[in-house]
Amino acid sequence: MDAITVIERCRQEEISLGELALRLEGEQNGASPDEVLDRVEQMLVVMERAAHEALAKPVRSVSGLTGGDAYRYDQYRKEGRSILGEAASMAMAFALSSSETNAAMGRIVACPTAGSCGILPAALFSMAHTHTFSRRQLQDAFLAAGVVGMIIDEHASLAGAQGGCQAECGSAAAMAAAAVVQLMGGSPAQCFHAGAIAIKNMLGLVCDPVAGLVEIPCIKRNAGGVLQALGAADLALSGVESYIPFDDTVEAMNRVGNAMPAALRETALGGLATTASGKEMRERIYGA
């Protein structure tokens, strides 16, 4: 499956990406639309809780390295001091909350991974708070993100250990960008332009977690990732197109991932993990 064939099928059958996902689940797995939507709704409920959990009160990670930033940022935002608009600032708060909840052993939905679990919920629920959508529209947007993720998984990778952070937060941003475009009424082609722009802007991002934990820099990369997603969606909705089509950006992401040294693929042997401060934090947790 690739974006070109998906766009063509959506055009012929006059359906959205989300509707296509429902049809694919039926064709490939025999699942009824109701079964699929029930499962999607269950995930949306978990996502929404995690997106709010660390805003209500400060949450600390199990390692003690991180926490409290979602709460801090949300307070600042609520005081009207954010230099960003309502949707973008809310999205950053939600992304931080989900990721901090994850680091604190709270319940989240891996989408596509636990390390990138904040991006799609932040995009969906910041849009839901600033616009009026039905629950079904949110479910459809979730499904649209899933189609984009399936294509990336087939032609590249969604794992930081294989493709670096571009594979996790980059993919999540592409998925979220497509979901937002669909929510706002964009076409399937526009969804993939948004996805392509998001991937291009996060291409080459390495996976270099301090002490090997899903905390530094992962939590803030989720906040950055959702801004990339909203930006890419906004460009696509205005009619801006990606000169490099989505399938080519995925192919490039795959080659870039393969060219990445192992030290920058989730081994904690390079990048931020091996800075003086990164090593000092590692020693604090595991001993010298």
Report whether 85 contacts 44 (CB < 8 A): no
Stretch that binds another protein, among 3-11, 42-50, 77-85, 237-245 (CB under 8 A): 42-50
60 strand-pairing partners: 67
Would you count residue 272 as binding another protein (CB under 8 A)?
no
Residue 42 touches another protein, criterion: CB under 8 A: yes
**Binding characters for another protein, 187-216, by CB under 8 A (x = yes):** ------------------------xxxxx-
153 binds another protein, rule: CB under 8 A = yes
What is the sign, positive or negative, of the torsion defined by CA atoms of 76, 78, 83, 88? positive
The verdict on 97 binding another protein (CB under 8 A) reads no
Q: Check residue 158 for interaction with another protein (CB under 8 A).
A: yes
User: Per rule CB under 8 A, is residue 58 in the interface with another protein?
Assistant: no
Please, which residue, 197 or 218, has the CB nearer to another protein? 218
Round to whole Å and give the CA distance between 50 and 36: 22
Count the residues of the shown chain that bind another protein, applying the rule CB under 8 A.
Answer: 51
**Close Cβ partners of 260 (under 8 Å, ≥ 6 residues apart):** 163, 164, 206
Coil, strand, or helix at residue 60?
strand
Q: Is 90 among the residues that bind another protein (CB under 8 A)?
A: no
Out of 143, 189, 206, 253, the residue judged to bind another protein by CB under 8 A: 143
In the bound state with another protein, the residue whose beta carbon lies nearer, of 158 and 235, is 158
DSSP 111-166: SS-STTTTHHHHHHHHHHHHS---HHHHHHHHHHHHHHHHHHHHHS-S-HHHH-HI
* Distance of alpha carbon 223 from the chain centroid: 9
CB of 136 to another protein, least distance (A): 16
Identity of the residue, 171 or 190, whose beta carbon is nearer to another protein in the bound complex: 171
Question: Cα angle at 281 between 277 and 284, to 5 degrees?
Answer: 140
* Binding-site ranges for another protein (CB under 8 A): 1, 21, 24-25, 28-29, 31, 36, 39-40, 42-43, 46, 61-63, 101-115, 117, 142-143, 145-147, 149-150, 153-154, 158-159, 161, 211-215, 285-286
